[in-house]
Amino acid sequence: MLQSPRAPTGWLALVLAVVLFGVVILMARAEVAAPKPVYNLTTIVIIGILGFAAAAWGLVKLGARGKQAQQSDEEKPADYSHVLWLLGILVVGLGGAATVRYFLVPKTLGEFGYYRGDAAREARAGVPQHQGKERCRGCHPEEPKAHAKDVHSKVECETCHGAAAEHLAHFEKEGMFGSKAIFVPTTREPCLWCHRRLAARPSSFPQVDPDEHYAFLGVGDPSTPCMKCHSPHEPLFLDRPVHEARMHPVIQQCTDCHKVRPAKEAKRPEDHPAVFECSYCHQDLARDFAKRTHHNLDCSRCHQVYRESPTAVRIVKHRDPRFCLLCHAKKPFRTDAAPPLVDWPAHGQGKADTCIDCHADNIHGSKPEPAAPETP
Amino acid sequence: MSNQGRKPGSGTATSPTASDPQPPQRPVGERAPGKAWGRRQFLNAGAAGGLIVILVGMRHESAEAGTPPPGEGEGKSAPPGFGDYNWYDHYWAYVIDTTKCIGCGSCMRACRRENKVPKDYFRTWIERYELREGGEAHVDVALNEQASFDADALPAGEKKAKSFFVPKICNHCAQSVCSQVCPVGASYQTEDGVVLVDAERCIGCAYCVQACPYGSRFINPDTHIADKCTLCYHRITKGKTTACVLSCPVGARMVGDLKDPKSPLHEILRERRYTLLHPELGTHPKCYYIGMDIEVK
Amino acid sequence: MDGYVFPNEVNVVWTVMIVLYPYITGLVAGAFVVSSLYHLFDRHQIKAVSRFSLVAALVFLMFATLPLLMHLGRPDRAFNIMITPHFTSAMAGFGYIYSAYFIVVAIEVWLVVRSDLVKRYESGGLLTRAFCSVVLLGDRRDSPEMRRANHRIVRFLAGLGIPMACLLHGYVGFLFGSVKANPWWSTPLMFVIFIFSAIVSGIAVLTFHYMTIAWINGWKVDQECVRALGGFLWGFMIVAVSLEVLEVLSIAYKQTEEWELLYLLITKKLFFTYVILQYLVFSLIPFFLLGINTLFRLRDRVSNVVLWVASVMLLAQVLLMRWNVVIGGQLFSKSHRGFTDYMPGWGTREGLIVAVIIFTIPFILLYVFHRIVPLFPPEVMVKKSKDATAQG
């Protein structure tokens, strides 16, 4: 009956293993119950591994066969010394690596989460490039005045002109000399980035096919920039901001048009079968307009209908002669295909402030009985 | 465990075949002559090494859990180093109204200028969908330098059904996969809901690029680390808006603070119908799309 | 590039380097399993390659990180993965798992070659003595008791190493299988597929390498060993290929939303490398060859040729499997509408020349090892006698 001298070691090891597992279970329970991490997961895992190691040690020691079964009497016990030397080096090496790691972990890691807290601070510290139109207004007071009341009022200065940070830095450094470090569109391409007619663009958005547009207006050279006619800051020469333009009725209920509600399935304006045309409500005006010189134009060509919100729509009536001049101004690049052209302000000198004062008949008249339309 | 407290020579008493001469027994654990390490030395070293490893492990990783959802961190004071910005008071989200987008590319150009995005890579981009009458869609992006669409995609003669533009951006997911798979903790979500990349920790392994279901991330060819939309973090934390929202001429893009009761985002999300991209993947993206079509992935 | 690809996805980011990395760690895992079959499971038939497989595992392990370093955008920050590992990521396990496994294999090799190193020290010149001294950590003693201790520890490590090898290679499979954004990668089976195909590649490379060395040096091939290896190879390859086929059959059957895209991927982009090469050529033919070899008793000469050819084909099959998974998963866009192309460069940092170099150096290093400490037992390194060639 062999009483192995190592047996008490084995039992002690097993007891230690049980203790370590108990610690792990208690820590894990506390961890699960608490809303925020209490213990370090690595610590729990390491203690668990040590528990398994102790259990393994104990089991092996307890189950170790006696010396007789393992080896003959003449043989000496197995010599592990070289391995212990290796393991010692290994442990010291790992301990050293762990210490080095401690010093290499960034200080702010774990401040808010598993990332470097300073990274968020650095992300915030970037220098903004776009400045916003208030900053532009500081040095350029004139352009924003016209810009604010025309149809480009919602378009930021920097959308067309690029970020202003370099422009500002340049002026702070160089004064008024040298390149201005800001983009000034000179061709028609930047305009077409928004206004080219594309099938995918919402139809309510003003868009043109540049070739069609130039052919209609008698502009021969396709490299002519849009800005030759349209001022980029006030493209339509509105005489008042579009938000102050006249309200246009919006169809809300059936009885807005029908005296009696039709007994049909359609209950909402969107379900109404026909597309609304201006002439549906404005029949007399439409009949009258058809006899006048501008009859080939759609109503929307001159009357911008602006949907401000689901319930508020505004319509623009132009008074500024510069709007009419978009089509009718005599310019060197206009060909014979153009509509009748005039020299402004020479044409209107002293006679009138707006085109309508004289040419109401060409549009749709304020007079009740239209005169014979002027032949073009 | 290293010293059982035995007296020298006590081992022999327990050996059953004491008739054979045994070599003199040493105390357990003592070094054998000529050997560098005995058992005791080994165990001492092991204990010391283990202790070092445990202590080192305890040093960090105290907040292993992800970012708390909004609601937590209420009333917490601003952490130091952020100026007058308290990120616990904000939670950023993004709304895109695809019915308004005109595909002008202003947002792409503005983002490129603001964040010095390298050529051929995109922190935001606009997709154009043109559906043929049979239902098959043609999709493309304006990849030219001006980020502009210069013509319709499908030829004029072809019968078309609907066509529209869809801006795309990093969705700043509440449970972002990119942060989950980053092996070094370089991809993270801030307390105010913005997913960022730590440019000093990133090793450029591109795991996050693979993991992002939306194609929002790329490896920057100049810095060789992961890059993506930062929601102009350097702007929104200073009271400005993002470059893309600033430059959109039609108001199709909106960024807002869900913790701000006055933010227009609340009304929009309450009244308009919206959807998310790939909600089935469980990433909880925070970019809400209004008027979205089923063709868009 | 056809269809619509997200603009950031035009370039493939995980290149041939990322194909090579799981391939090399797969060779490691397979070689280690073979060595453990001898050291722990007492399969004495494969004694001829027992030490060779262990050292091969170590040598391939040394070069496993090179493809990753070539791939990383910032290799100077490579140690971040050990300094701040983010354990929600499968990739974060790489640093510690690889290091731990490296230590285990290195210790096992050290113990196995120790006695021969001591002998070499005694018979070698100045340089050899210096080298042996360093490797032996200054302890140049040897004795039967030490060898017994070595044997016991080697058994222990051979056992401990198997789950670690599974972890080392399995985590790569998990890394791919857990990417929910990619329908070609996302499957719970990926972990298992990678492990089993790794074992196949490891056994195949050992069989191929041993037989090639024996042929070059004119040694008589240890028939019992190669037949046993052939048997293991057949068994593991059946499991590996079955799992691969099962995975794709499953998605083909379920036909959920992503099937339209994956169908195009398989039948158009990957038809040649996946259907033709990976399955029809390099799976079916080795299955047939190894089956015949295992089930029927062939003449030694014929059996060896069959085994050699089958090993080479299976090496190609596993490489193609890695290629089809890694590259295939990036050929389609997450837009589900388009495909892109990938052709590795030649001389670039992640190009084919670098890949070939990285893959070849371990074989050269094994030869250097062999010159210092013989990797085969002396009874294996016996030249064939002339009349032995007449024997079948």
What residues of C are in contact with residue B277 (Cβ under 8 Å)? none
pLDDT at position B159 is 77
- Residues in A 129-148 with any Cβ partner in B closer than 8 A: 129-130, 132
Q: Which of C294, C172, C296 is nearest to C233 (CA)?
A: C294
The residue extents of the domains of chain C are 2-380
Name the strands in the sheet holding A246-248, side by side, starting at the edge strand that comes first in the sequence: A246-248, A312-315, A305-309
What residues of B are in contact with residue C75 (Cβ under 8 Å)? 203
CB contact under 8 A, A101 and C83: yes
Q: Which residues 6+ apart lie within 8 Å of A141 measured at CB?
A: none
What residues of B are in contact with residue C71 (Cβ under 8 Å)? 205-206
What residues of C are in contact with residue B189 (Cβ under 8 Å)? none
From the CA of B88, how many Å to the nearest CA of chain C?
A: 24
What residues of A are in contact with residue B160 (Cβ under 8 Å)? 199
Q: Which residues 6+ apart lie within 8 Å of B258 measured at CB?
A: B70, B91, B92, B93, B193, B265, B266
CB contact under 8 A, B181 and C90: yes
CA A207/CA A41 separation, integer angstroms: 61
Shortest CB distance from A121 goes to which of B48, B82, B163?
A: B82
Least confident of A4-13, A361-370, C308-317: A361-370
Q: Which of C86, C103, C136 to mutate to test the interface with B (most CBs of B within 10 A)?
A: C86
From the CA of A201, how many Å to the nearest CA of chain C?
A: 20
Q: Which of C19, C105, C26, C25 is nearest to C65 (CA)?
A: C25
CB contact under 8 A, C14 and B210: yes
CA C220/CA C213 separation, integer angstroms: 10
pLDDT at position C381 is 87
From the CA of C27, how many Å to the nearest CA of chain B?
A: 23
pLDDT at position B44 is 53
Shortest CB distance from B183 goes to which of C89, C180, C330?
A: C89
Confidence band, pLDDT 50/70/90 cuts, at residue B64: very low
B222-244: average pLDDT = 96
Residue recorded with tokens 């890579």: B121
Q: Which residues 6+ apart lie within 8 Å of C305 measured at CB?
A: none
The residue extents of the domains of chain A are 9-123, 129-184, 202-259+273-376
Q: Which of A114, A370, A364 is nearest to C84 (CA)?
A: A114
Specify the length of chain A in residues.
376
pLDDT at position B32 is 54
A116-134: average pLDDT = 94
H helix intervals, C40-92: 47-62, 65-71, 80-83
pLDDT at position A375 is 46
CA A304/CA A205 separation, integer angstroms: 11
Q: Which of A42, A76, A82, A114 to mutate to test the interface with C (most CBs of C within 10 A)?
A: A82
pLDDT at position B244 is 97
Confidence band, pLDDT 50/70/90 cuts, at residue B27: low
Percent residues over pLDDT 90 in chain B: 63
Confidence band, pLDDT 50/70/90 cuts, at residue A369: very low
Residue of B nearest to C91 (CA): B183
Q: If you average pLDDT over every residue of chain A, what do you get? A: 82
Shortest CB distance from B234 goes to which of A118, A128, A207?
A: A128
What residues of A are in contact with residue B148 (Cβ under 8 Å)? 189, 192-193, 196
Whether the pTM exceeds 0.90: the reply is no
Res B26 pLDDT > 80: no
What subunits touch chain C, counting only 3 or more CB pairs under 8 A?
Answer: A, B
CA A305/CA A313 separation, integer angstroms: 7
A254-267: average pLDDT = 66
Least confident of A9-13, A130-134, A266-270: A266-270
pLDDT digits (tens, 9 = 90+) for C86-101: 999 999 989 999 999 9
Q: What is the second-level CATH architecture of the domain C2-380?
A: Up-down Bundle (1.20)
C156 has a chain A CB within 8 A of its CB: no
A61-84: average pLDDT = 71
CA A187/CA A228 separation, integer angstroms: 10
Q: Which residues 6+ apart lie within 8 Å of C298 measured at CB?
A: C292, C306
Most confident of the ranges A171-175, B64-68, B157-161: B157-161
Which position has the higher pLDDT, C230 or A75?
C230
Shortest CB distance from C77 goes to which of B139, B143, B203?
A: B203
- Residues in A 11-70 with any Cβ partner in B closer than 8 A: 12-13, 16, 36-37, 40-43, 46-47, 50, 68
CB contact under 8 A, C94 and B183: yes
CB contact under 8 A, A114 and B185: yes
Report helix, strand or coil for C220: coil
What residues of A are in contact with residue C85 (Cβ under 8 Å)? none
pLDDT at position A261 is 66
From the CA of B280, how many Å to the nearest CA of chain A?
A: 26
CB contact under 8 A, A102 and B56: yes
Confidence band, pLDDT 50/70/90 cuts, at residue B10: very low
What subunits touch chain B, counting only 3 or more CB pairs under 8 A?
Answer: A, C
Shortest CB distance from C334 goes to which of B215, B224, B225?
A: B215
pLDDT digits (tens, 9 = 90+) for B94-133: 999 999 999 999 999 999 999 999 999 999 999 999 998 8
Would you say the C-alpha torsion B251, B252, B257, B259 has a positive or negative sign? positive
pLDDT at position C142 is 86
CB contact under 8 A, B57 and A73: no
pLDDT digits (tens, 9 = 90+) for C313-343: 999 999 999 999 999 999 999 999 999 999 9
B17-30: average pLDDT = 50
Shortest CB distance from C83 goes to which of A80, A86, A104?
A: A104
Confidence band, pLDDT 50/70/90 cuts, at residue A34: confident
CB contact under 8 A, A122 and B16: no
Confidence band, pLDDT 50/70/90 cuts, at residue B54: very low
pLDDT digits (tens, 9 = 90+) for C256-286: 999 999 999 999 999 999 999 999 999 999 9
Shortest CB distance from C137 goes to which of A78, A89, A101?
A: A89
What residues of B are in contact with residue C175 (Cβ under 8 Å)? 207
Q: Which residues 6+ apart lie within 8 Å of C127 measured at CB?
A: none
Res B23 pLDDT > 60: no
What residues of A are in contact with residue B32 (Cβ under 8 Å)? 81
CB contact under 8 A, B205 and C182: no
What residues of B are in contact with residue A81 (Cβ under 8 Å)? 32, 35-38
Would you say the C-alpha torsion C240, C246, C248, C251 has a positive or negative sign? negative
pLDDT at position B31 is 53
From the CA of C370, how many Å to the nearest CA of chain A?
A: 23
CA B32/CA B26 separation, integer angstroms: 8
CATH of domain B1-15+37-297: 3.30.70.20
C113-125: average pLDDT = 87
CB contact under 8 A, B184 and C86: yes
User: Using the 8-state DSSP alphabet, how is residue A291 labeled?
Assistant: T
Which position has the higher pLDDT, A251 or B64?
A251
pLDDT at position C2 is 65
Tell me what ipTM this predicted complex has. 0.91
- Residues in A 99-128 with any Cβ partner in B closer than 8 A: 99, 101-102, 105-106, 109-128
C209-216: average pLDDT = 94
The residue extents of the domains of chain B are 1-15+37-297
Q: Which of A20, A79, A83, A115 to mutate to test the interface with B (most CBs of B within 10 A)?
A: A115
Question: Are residues A144 and A156 in contact, defined by beta-carbon separation less than 8 angstroms?
Answer: no
CB contact under 8 A, C145 and A77: yes
pLDDT at position A360 is 82
CB contact under 8 A, A194 and B251: no
From the CA of A370, how many Å to the nearest CA of chain B?
A: 41
A123 has a chain C CB within 8 A of its CB: no
Shortest CB distance from A90 goes to which of C79, C103, C146?
A: C103
Least confident of A118-127, B194-203, C133-142, C261-270: C133-142
C134 has a chain A CB within 8 A of its CB: no
CB contact under 8 A, A114 and B64: yes
A122-133: average pLDDT = 94
Question: Are residues A121 and B198 in contact, defined by beta-carbon separation less than 8 angstroms?
Answer: no
pLDDT at position A230 is 92
From the CA of B171, how many Å to the nearest CA of chain C?
A: 14
**Percent helix, strand and coil across chain C, each to the nearest 5:** 75, 0, 25
pLDDT digits (tens, 9 = 90+) for C352-387: 999 999 999 999 999 999 988 899 998 888 887 755
